[in-house]
Amino acid sequence: LTMTYDAKVNMQDTFTTVKYWEVLIYNYLLKRSIVIPQKDIDASKDAQYPGGFVKEPKTGESDWVVSFDLNSLYPHLIMQYNISPETMIDQKLNVNVDGILNKEYDTSNLKYAMAASGQLYDKSKRGFLPELMDTIYNERVVYKKKMLQLKQELVDDPSREEELSGEIAKYNNFQMAKKIQMNSCYGAVGNAYFRFFQLRNAEAITLSGQMAIKWISKKLNEYINNILKTDEDYVIAVDTDSCYLRMDGLVNKVFDKDTPKEKIVDFLDTIAKDKLEPFISECYQDLANYTNAYEQKMIMKREVIANKGIWTAKKRYILNVYNDEGVELKQPKLKIMGIEAVKSSTPAPCRVKIKEALSVIMNQDESSLIQFIDDFRNEFKKLSPEAIAYPRSCNNLRKY
């Protein structure tokens, strides 16, 4: 069997994840005197199941973008619907995501928790997977809260960079380790070689994720249209667990064009905290009640506030961020996702200027960008060949 290096690494990573969770679950259940079953050969191991929902974005420029993010979506879905091997009921209802969104089904007599796939789960006892997810998530919350607190301290007092930067990195590593640990559980659940693999569980998680993000996108659109008395799509983009809202209509209604950006950012931060987040919680409680969930665990918080955003395609965008998860920035920072601004072959002087050009695009006008490019073109022509040369590989030197 011949494999590429990358394939070997990916296979090893998958094997490690599966075995890690089998050991974790084994030790967890052993303490409770519960013996794990032998691995069953699942005939559906080659079957495919759906992934997350990604909306086709509104391409081009959008002003005043506010994003909301579901905290640890898949782990929380496991908790919400009590998804676990021993709680799965051998019964599946004939429902779909769109039907649930439109409340087409009578769920008043549901005895069990119903995932978006129609799979039912016992609510009489908490499964071991939800309990493990809850423990790990609570540990992550502590580390992330400390990291964000230190970030704000650094913004308020930049002279403490040497003192705080190491601590910020430490707590970021801690919270990211917990995040990866939780998300890897979903990877194991969806792996046919996992001892507790069930296709129906993996499908229940992903389809419930689609339902959760579609549910809130629809509700937020209705909410903003109701306030502004319009009939528009204010959801620029949706990506699995994130929702990006265009808030320029509200901003233009409240402020004039000369209002300082910092004042508008504070206003949007207040609106997100006092209006949108409570509304989102109410909407998700309604969803939990409708699906007879084990508990309401959809937690959506405001992530960034940007005065400008540009989308080119799905998962490809730039945001000019003024507030990041409650951390107020003295100067806006660029959040670039999926756009290859700089490649390994880009000459060193161009690397710097391309990043500067993106900042000009997001903070100045078109004439400023044209002037910036003209200035660098003149500068580029004066550079030495060594400065503007770019790396290229050369194979078979020994052969020739």
d(CA 381, CA 150): 45
Rounded distance between C-alpha atoms, residue 162 and residue 91, angstroms: 58
Span 333-384, pLDDT tens digits: 999 898 877 777 888 888 889 888 988 988 888 999 999 999 999 999 999 9
Q: What token pair was written down for 35?
A: 């013996």
Q: Return the ∠ at Cα 317 (arms to 312 and 320), rounded to 5°.
A: 130
pLDDT 10s digits, 52-97 = 999 999 999 999 999 999 998 999 999 999 999 999 999 899 999 9
Among candidates 32, 81, 94, 109, which has minimal Cα distance to 288? 81
CA distance 128 to 173: 26
Alpha carbons 272 and 274: distance in angstroms, whole number: 6
Assign 96 to helix, strand or coil: coil
In this prediction, the residues of the chain whose per-residue pLDDT falls under 70 are 1-14, 40-47
Largest CA distance in the chain: 78
Structure tokens at 389: 């040369």
Coil, helix or strand at residue 66: strand
- Residue 148: strand pairing partners: none
Tokens matching residue 235: 């959801």
Q: Check residue 226 and give its pLDDT.
A: 95
Query: What are the Cα distances from residue 263, in Å, to 258, 260, 269, 270, 334?
Result: 11, 6, 10, 11, 20
Q: What is the mean pLDDT of the chain?
A: 89
Q: What is the pLDDT of residue 20?
A: 86
Q: Which amino acid is at 321?
A: V
Under a CB-based contact definition with an 8 Å cutoff, are residues 299 and 307 in contact? no
Residue 359, pLDDT score? 87
**Ordered DSSP codes for 87-123:** TEEEEE----HHHHHTT-S--TT--SEE-TTSEEE--
Q: What is the pLDDT of residue 4?
A: 44
